[in-house]
Structure 1
């Protein structure tokens, strides 16, 4: 005997597969936040990641009505904090502000990294960018322009060296990309941070360096270092007289050091959007924008999707540079 279904029941059943996605999209965002949150920083206090993360946390604490506690977890070039983030619950109460090294270069440089910055994390936003600046010791390298520097390097093969804040750092890979582009032989001298790299450059123990703008701006204005070019897409207001790489004669050489905010992986989209909205709003407050701008950091505050695309492109870019230069982790 054939069972006859009521017409309304049949319509409900046939519509169900098409209704499900709409129902999922219509789900309200979770009730967040209801308790304090934590902002992990993968480095010691005082650096760009710390300053950016603390600025975000302070502004967010006001706007979301819950404290955002900053927790510095330095170690292994960000891997200690990265592992902690990968294990954290994706509930919106753990975030991390980290650098290009933590979220891109580590993945390209270290095959046995203890976290995957794409699979294990949820993108929130690209917080800030800053250019690197090619600086020379004016007493050791008597040049003012890029063509003069290239001519000097070619006239002194094997005699020039450059300082960096460490193997695999943004300034190291920028220098290697520069070497590949101009075909120069320049020895790498790594240090334990940008300040030490700049100090030895000023002392004349090395001849040139690519350093974050915030690290060398004061030395440039004080005449201790001479800036040849900056690697941002446009000139920085902090050093407006210094040309971009393209203006100096090196096209398609845009490199920025950056800080981003991420959360643990597998975060629900509705919750991710709420967290991202709060972080982006914090970055766009005048106090935060002005504070970060005063040290050469430009606020980006883009969407999670835009940052995800940018991050994966950066990983691919630096993987190519690392392979071409045969760079190995320390």
Structure 2
């Protein structure tokens, strides 16, 4: 499916559902998080879900269904009741999964409909504090001269995809070293067993502030208030390396229009509230709420972009 078809399919899913008159608002909404408890996606879902429940005067219950590279929880919602009683926390991982898992037991594009994009967390390029690489320009130059080892939290994860995008732009051939999670990869980076990680911001920021890692650049269009001295990749000479590990909400494809629109409206309103905005920023997120067709277009672009990178780099699911 090409980019134009993806946008059309997702936009249609965002705009087509069962009339509200056919079903009443549920008394309980299950917010399915396809990752373990305590992670950023889980925390963000709990923050947003609480506000959604308060606004709708219903109970919003977060249910963690990890496994299968975030596919188990996604399949549960995709095949679940389309009465507004379930929503799914989705991330960049799901956009990549469309290409990584072409034979998944559900169709991400057609079985789920966009509700709202909530926030994004920029990827942070980090090296050991003892590394001779002092700037992003140094990394660009050195990676063209020799093969560097780049760690990640696993095949097809945002750090791996960001590294692959860097290689694609830079014409370099970094060796990917996958780990079972972000923490062990950070340990080996600090210890000098790795040269670089294009990391999830929350996984590396404490080590940067603690002086164990050096931040070279943010894969973002704007600097981050927590690390104001760290340049963006655009400022550092690679404007194409823009990657945010975003989180959003989707629902079963035939969920009533009016319910989806109301959920989107309340989620967006919550993200614009000073309280939630500050809590999100403290977690490393930048609130970037977007509903309906705008989120559908963003999602189609992400699916197409990462599909191209995954195929070019011959990335297989771990």
**What's the TM-score once normalised by structure 1's chain length?**
0.87
> What residue in structure 1 maps to residue 252 of structure 2?
264
Match of 1:287 among 266, 271, 275: 275
In the alignment, which of 72, 88, 93 is matched to residue 85 of structure 2?
93
After TM superposition, give the deviation of residue 29 of structure 1 in Å: 6.3
1:162 aligned partner: 150
- Which structure is higher in RCO with an 8 Å CA cutoff and minimum separation 6? 2
- Checking the alignment, whether the CA contact within 8 Å between 2:25 and 2:259 is kept in structure 1 is no
Alignment of 1:253 with 2:244, yes or no, is no
Q: Which stretch of structure 1 is more off in the superposition, 57-66 or 27-36?
A: 27-36
2:119 corresponds in structure 1 to 128
**Shift of residue 222 of structure 1?**
0.9
CA contact (8 A) 1:92 1:275 kept: no
The aligned residue for residue 137 of structure 2 is 147
Aligned with 1:233 (options 193, 196, 221): 221
- For structure 2, which runs of at least 5 residues remain unmatched after alignment? 1-18
Deviation, 1:107, is: 0.3
Shift of residue 115, structure 1, vs aligned partner? 2.1
For 1:44, which of 27, 36, 57 is the aligned residue?
36
Partner secondary structure for residue 217 of structure 1: helix
Distance 2:139 2:47 in 1: 38
Residues 42, 73 of structure 1: 8 Å contact kept: yes
Bigger radius of gyration among the two:
1
Q: How much is the aligned-residue C-alpha RMSD, in angstroms?
A: 1.7
Match in the other structure for 1:306: 294
Closer, same or farther in 2 for the Cα pair 1:224/1:306, shift >3 Å?
same
The 3-state SS of whatever aligns with 1:200 is helix
- Alpha-carbon separation, structure 2, partners of 1:60 and 1:117: 24
> In 2, Cα distance between the equivalents of 1:34 and 1:125?
19
CA distance in 2, matches of 1:32, 1:281: 22
Gaps of 5+ in 1: 1-26
Q: In 1, are the aligned partners of 2:223 and 2:230 still within 8 Å (CA)?
A: yes
* Structure 1 residue aligned with 2:101: 110
In structure 1, the residue corresponding to 2:269 is in which secondary structure?
helix
User: How many residues are matched?
Assistant: 301
Q: Does structure 1 retain, via aligned residues, the 8 Å contact 2:23–2:83? A: no
1:19 equivalent in structure 2: none
Cα deviation code 1:173-220 (max 9, x no counterpart): 110110121222211111112222212211211110001111111111
CA contact (8 A) 1:245 1:251 kept: yes
> Contact 1:130/1:212 (CA < 8 Å) preserved in 2?
yes
What displacement does 1:283 show?
Answer: 2.5
Q: What do residues 8-34 of structure 1 show as CA deviations (whole Å, max 9, x unaligned)?
A: xxxxxxxxxxxxxxxxxxx77677534
Partner Cα distance (2:283, 2:216) in 1: 19
Q: What CA distance in whole angstroms lies between the structure 1 residues aligned with 2:42 and 2:24?
A: 24
- Which portions of structure 1, spanning 4 or more consecutive aligned residues, are displaced by more than 4 angstroms? 27-32
For residue 208 of structure 2, what is the aligned residue in structure 1? 220
Q: 1:34 to 1:187 in 2, by over 3 A?
A: closer
Report the alpha carbon displacement of residue 114 of structure 1 after superposing the two structures with TM: 2.1
Cα shift at 1:92: 1.0
Give the match's secondary structure for 2:235: helix
CA distance in 2, matches of 1:282, 1:66: 15
3-state SS of paired residue (1:119): helix
Q: C-alpha distance in 1, partners of 2:168/2:161?
A: 10
Q: Following TM superposition, by how much is the alpha carbon of 1:96 offset from its aligned partner in structure 2, in angstroms?
A: 1.1
The answer to whether residue 172 in structure 2 is matched with residue 173 in structure 1 is no
Report if aligned partners of 1:30, 1:271 keep a CA contact under 8 Å in 2: no
